[in-house]
Amino acid sequence: MVAASIIIIGVTAMASQIVFMRELLVVFYGNELSLGFILASWLLGGAVGSALLGRRADRISNKVTVFGLLQICAGILLPVEIVAIRAIKGALHIAPGQIMPLFPMIVSSLAILVPICAILGFLFSLGSRIYRSAGNVYVLEGAGAVIGGGLAGCILIKILNPVFMMAILAALNVAASLALLYFAGEKKFKKISVGIAAAIVIMLAALFFFKGWDTLEADSLKNEWNGYDLIASKNSVYGNIVLTKSLEQFSFFDNGLHLYSIPDPERAEGSVHFALLEHPDPKRVLLIGGGAGGSIGEVLKYPVDRVDYVELDPLLIEMTADYIPEEYSSFLLDERVGIKNTDGRFFIKRAPDKYDCIIINVGDPYTAQINRYYTDEFFKEAKRVLRPGGLISFGATSSENYINKELGEFLRSIYATVRRNFKDVFVIPGETAYFLATDAPGLLTYDYTVLMNRARARGIGLKYVREYYLSSRMSPQRIEDMGKIMLSTAAAEVNYDFRPISYYYNTAFWTTRFRDSLFTKIIDATNKKAVWLAILIAYCLIAFAGMILKFRKGSFGRLALLSLAGGGFTSMAVQIVLLLAFQIIYGYLFYKLAVNLTSFMLGLVVGGWYGTRLASKAKELLPALLAVQCAFAVYPLVLPVVFGWLNTSGSLAVSWAGQNVIFTLLPFLAGFIGGFQFPVANKIYAREEKNMGAAAGLTYGVDLIGSSLGALSIGAFLIPVLGIPGSCLAVSVLNFIILMVLRW
């Protein structure tokens, strides 16, 4: 019964992590920075429960009873957490769709996630004491995580609402604890604990029967979107799409951030007509993102032969057809429009046709995934599918008048990247700066009268992009001022797939909205030299700690903990690198990331099982720990080579193998190494720590603390500043230093 409960806890941990992360990303600014805070809070909570609270596991006399009651508490907390997450912005008086400042983001992440994660972490320590094997508990929990990740990430998230999913998990945990308490509980508290569990089972069943969970889902959503008329909120494998209505205007939100409103003719006209009026005769147009918001309707005002509209998430199209009045959505049914539900980057890589105009309408590169549409590699790919005399256009956040240092760096990095690939690049200033690029000399013009003459000749009815509008935006003085910013001698680094510097500059610009925050000052001081200096200091501290421990009696167990912390850091860093690289190369298969996560957990289970067997039989475990440390040092160096090969290969066979074999095998190998390390390091430390529960809790906690640091640093600082190759090198050197410390 204990084994069954541990497996269910693993299912709960992974499934709830997936759901909570999605819900928190709706509330927070959904980029890798907020994702890092969420993961760090989750792992830190687990570390608190396993390392700090776990030290008391050996002192508890009625361990099975306490285990069962805590599992009930964890189950009850699950739906409560969803309601709490959706109430964050209302409690902080932050409007839905508004970006949350960093400090409230961190505090709310910790306040919501630490309690549930601390319980789950403590259950690991207590379960290890009951089961008398931390390695076996590690394997059982990992097996449950594989099941939970597969079910939640690939199936349940598409058919069940979050509250109902958490209600099912709650019922599963309470039922498991009831069976555990009844069949294996200590006699002293058996009647009362079984009675509590049975009463809660009856209460949960009543809520299912009377549709209480559906009511809670609806009420919590209304609370989250307070002040808006909520029309629909639906989940897909790509994220959460919300549709609201205010007066006669509908607004779409993707993971909590505003995508577009319908009708919004000023935005729709601006996103399309600058590009199409600059081209003398656009016939074939490729539109990536935003088309359902009205951009397609504007394109169809021209005598085009074909408009290919690429939108990753089909749910956006479905909700537009279901809820938006026909007068604002009928253009989707035009026979000239071809809707492609795939990743825009993948579509361009393999597009069989060529286009006169490519219009990118995906928003700023506020995530590493969107950054893929602003890189040197992307512009090379887009250039390949342009017809002679064709042009590419996109908008980026700017300012009507004053452009500060951070915004200037962001815009210059994009300009420098486009300029590497196109001979002629024009930037039209405004709240949204529109970039136009072509290789055709003399095609682009800043003379708005030429554009207006073309609009009249083509019979294009325009409401906003007209003389009074263009004469202001394209005035010689404003064009000259924008040109000075773009051509400034200040540093402007080129944006690459595997070094997303524009994403980092965008994050720096975002933090200026909270000028007094500590994180803003950290971002301002962060550059490549500063990051490498911080890494060098960390290396020296690790080496110094190893030297001190070398001369202390019975210190090898602590060195094993150091190795375990480095392993946790490396495992999380590698997993984030794999996820980002997968998005960069095969972004259209985003839904397969759940498969990759499950593969990582499966590797963890297999490695943990093998390491547990070895730890139970071998007398000398140092060679095994050194082998693991060596694997952690070499593995990150292999990744950039593999990524570069997959990203540049034009072979369909290589592409298929990368998607279906290589990116399934790589996380499995990372999980195997980390899974093998834990029972070996735990056994080494347990030989010096008499209390099994305390030893299991501390080793698990150290592993989670290392993972927490990896989650916080790799996506927020290392990859944006150093790129994926530089980050992999830094992680590799870290493990080589720990290897040297162990050899000492």
Q: Which of 192, 224, 256 is the last residue of a domain?
A: 224
Q: Estimate the crossing angle of helix 134-151 against helix 593-617, to 10 degrees.
A: 170
Work out the burial of residue 493: count CB atoms within 10 Å of its CB; fewer than 13 is exposed, 13-18 middle, 19 or more buried: middle
The contacts of residue 363 (CB under 8 Å, 6+ apart) are: 259, 289, 370
pLDDT at 517: 58
Q: Name the DSSP class of 726.
A: H
H or E element at residue 364: none
HEC letters along 131-160: HCCHHHHHHHHHHHHHHHHHHHHHHHHHHC
Cα radius of gyration (the chain) = 28
With respect to residue 40, please indicate whether it lies within any of the assigned structural domains.
Answer: yes
Q: Strand 306-310 relative to strand 337-340: parallel, antiparallel, unpaired?
A: parallel
At 203 the three-state DSSP class reads helix
Q: How far is Cα 392 from Cα 740, in angstroms, rounded to an integer?
A: 52
The pLDDT assigned to 302 comes to 93
Closest C-alpha to 719, from 730, 705, 709: 730
Q: Residue 561: exposed, middle, or buried by beta-carbon count in 10 A (0-12, 13-18, 19+)?
A: buried
Residue with tokens 């690991």: 124
Are 492 and 530 contained in the same domain?
no
The residue whose two tokens read 């932050």 is 94
* Whether 410 and 553 share a structural domain: no
Classify residue 272: in a domain, yes or no: yes
DSSP assignment of 588-633, as one string?
A: GGGGGHHHHHHHHHHHHHHHHHHHHHHHHH-S--HHHHHHHHHHHH
β 229-236/355-360 pair status: unpaired
Report the pLDDT value the prediction gives residue 592, as an integer from 0 to 100. Answer: 64
Compute the distance between CA of residue 100 and CA of residue 111 in angstroms, rounded to an integer: 16
Indicate the SS3 state at residue 435: strand
Q: What is the pTM of this model?
A: 0.83
For residues 71, 77, 82, 86, the Cα torsion angle rounded to the nearest 10 degrees is -160
Same-domain check for residues 607 and 694: yes
Say if 627 falls within a structural domain.
yes
Residue 250's identity, in one-letter code, is: F
CA distances to 312, 643, 668 from 663, in Å: 21, 10, 9
Angle, CA 313 vertex, CA 312 and CA 314 arms, to 5°: 115
Q: Which of 457, 479, 498 lies at the terminal end of a domain, its last residue?
A: 498
Instruction: Return the DSSP state at 499.
Output: B
- What Cα–Cα distance (Å) separates residue 405 from each residue in 284, 409, 419, 444, 722? 38, 6, 20, 28, 21
Q: Is 548 left (phi over 0), alpha (psi -120 to 50) or beta?
A: alpha
Domain-embedded: residue 234: no
Query: Which residue is listed with tokens 């994220």?
Result: 239
CATH of the domain at 661: 1.20.1250.20
Same domain for 181 and 45: yes
392 - beta bridge partners? 358, 437
Q: What are phi and psi of 527, to 5 degrees?
A: -150, 180
Residue indicated by tokens 């099941």: 147
Q: Which two tokens stand for residue 117?
A: 């994660």
Longest dimension (CA), the chain: 91
Structural domain boundaries, residue 544: 526-744
Phi, psi of 485 (to 5 degrees): -70, -45
Task: Based on the fold, state whether residues 453 and 550 are members of the same structural domain.
Answer: no
Instruction: Return d(Cα 425, Cα 435) in angstroms, integer.
Output: 7
Beta strand pairing call for 229-236 and 239-246:
antiparallel
Residue 580's CB: how many other CB atoms inside 10 A? 25
In a shared domain, residues 540 and 607? yes
**In this structure, is residue 513 part of a structural domain?**
no
Are 189 and 295 members of one domain?
no
Q: Which of 224, 255, 280 is at the close of a domain?
A: 224
Q: Which helix (H) or strand (E) holds 38?
A: helix 32-47
Domain assignment present for residue 582? The answer is yes
For residue 520, the model assigns a pLDDT of 63
632 shares a domain with 542: yes
Shared domain for 636 and 687, answered yes or no, is yes
Specify the CATH number for the domain of residue 196: 1.20.1250
Regarding whether 273 and 170 lie in a shared domain, the answer is no
Task: Clarify whether residues 208 and 97 are in a common domain.
Answer: yes
Is the previous residue joined to 476 through a cis bond, with omega within 30 degrees of 0?
no
342 part of a folded domain: yes
- Kindly state the tokens that stand for 258: 């505003």
- Give the three-state DSSP class for 340: strand
Is 235 inside a domain boundary? no
First to last CA, the chain: 44
DSSP state of 306: E
- Domains contained in the chain, number: 3
- Asked if residues 200 and 72 have their Cβ atoms less than 8 Å apart, the reply is yes
Q: What pLDDT is recorded for position 589?
A: 47
Walk along the chain (744 residues) in steps of 10 and give the mean pLDDT of each run. 84 88 80 76 85 72 82 90 91 79 83 91 82 77 85 76 89 85 67 77 81 87 86 82 89 84 88 92 93 90 94 90 89 91 86 92 84 93 94 92 86 94 93 94 90 89 83 87 82 86 82 64 72 89 79 68 89 87 70 73 88 82 88 95 86 84 92 89 73 69 85 79 91 92 79
CA distance linking residue 302 with residue 43, whole number of Å = 54
Say whether 311 sits in a helix, a strand or coil. Answer: coil
Q: Based on the fold, state whether residues 729 and 684 are members of the same structural domain.
A: yes
